[in-house]
Amino acid sequence: MTDQAIAQQDDTEAGWYLRFPLVTRLLHWTVAASIFALLWSGLWVFNIHPRLYWGDQGYFGAPAIAEIVADTSGEEPRYAIHIGDLSMNVTGVMGRGSGQPYVRLFNYPQGFDFGGNRALHFTAAWFLVLGWLYYVYHLLSSDRLRQTWLPTRAEMTLRHIWQDFVNHLKFRRAQGDEARRYNILQKLSYLTLMFLLFPLIFLTGLTMSNSITTAWPFLFDLFGGRQSARTLHFVFASITVLFILIHLLQLLVVGFTNYMRSMITGRFQIRAEDTQ
């Protein structure tokens, strides 16, 4: 069934309406697949050198602001995360029997080398950049940014934001027409992700590229050096992971099947109990 046919049924089929147009759904899943590939390959890149620095130089022996270390002096290797003077034992959560630290989501197929991993990371990055650019264009050209993402003046009051925050803490589901709209925390988080976090991820990633920084050396000044950019890239990616986890948790609270269906088919149902 086409989007137009669904839209025509909105007035006659009670409780159903077109929540997401086709282009939004396609861009959403393109971006989601790109992020998954980036996280998967990015963690394997990080495994090669699991240390974070500040400045332009970074190597084993230089002071790190954060690192994963392995102690192989005993019978069984022990692993820890060091952040400044803080230390967290992660034995059994991270690490290999060989004593090399690691962070990963899934294993690669046997024989998949580092060059293939970097190629996957860069390919996924370009898919994300192009998807993001078209998503921004779609939001602006369709007026969806103003209609669905930008907060109203009433929503930006401290009282309204606090009440919405409390509703999230209590896992309250939006009722009636409220379920048709993004709440203020959703709007602010989506705007932050699309117009702040993603651009910072792109720019810090570009700063780690020799060819890019040769043409645009100002990126070193912008982020304080190549290693600073790598550290910030890791931090921004981690914040993205946190966003995804909260996003999935909220889906479970508000109705996973209904919202997942709306992002696949476009159809969203306002159930009878939600209108009472």
**Entry pTM:** 0.84
Instruction: List beta partners, residue 268.
Output: 17
Nearest to 105 by CA among 259, 237, 236: 237
For position 115, what pLDDT does the model report? 78
For 116-145, the DSSP string reads: HHHHHHHHHHHHHHHHHHHHHHHHHHTSHI
Tell me how far apart the alpha carbons of residues 108 and 105 are, in angstroms, rounded to a whole number: 10
Which pair of structure tokens corresponds to residue 260?
Answer: 């997942």
Tell me how far apart the alpha carbons of residues 125 and 36 are, in angstroms, rounded to a whole number: 11
- Strand stretches in 195-236, DSSP E: none
Nearest to 35 by CA among 112, 132, 115, 109: 132
Nearest to 103 by CA among 50, 33, 35, 59: 50
Tokens 């264009």, located at residue = 137
Q: What are phi and psi of 91, to 5 degrees?
A: -60, 130
**Integer distance in angstroms from the first to the last C-alpha of the chain?**
30
Per-residue pLDDT of the chain (276 residues; tens, 9 = 90+): 445 444 444 444 457 878 888 999 999 999 999 999 999 889 888 888 889 999 998 988 889 999 988 888 878 888 899 998 899 998 877 776 666 677 766 666 666 677 778 888 999 999 999 999 999 999 999 999 999 999 999 999 999 999 999 988 888 877 777 778 889 999 999 999 999 999 999 999 999 988 899 999 999 999 999 999 999 999 999 999 999 999 998 888 888 888 889 999 988 887 655 443
How far does CA 7 lie from the centroid of its chain? 31
Q: What are phi and psi of 77, to 5 degrees?
A: -60, 145
For position 275, what pLDDT does the model report? 43
For residue 228, what is the DSSP state?
A: H
Q: What are phi and psi of 210, to 5 degrees?
A: -60, -40
For position 118, what pLDDT does the model report? 85
Alpha helices in 49-170 (DSSP H): 114-141, 144, 158-169
Tell me how far apart the alpha carbons of residues 168 and 176 are, in angstroms, rounded to a whole number: 17
For position 4, what pLDDT does the model report? 47
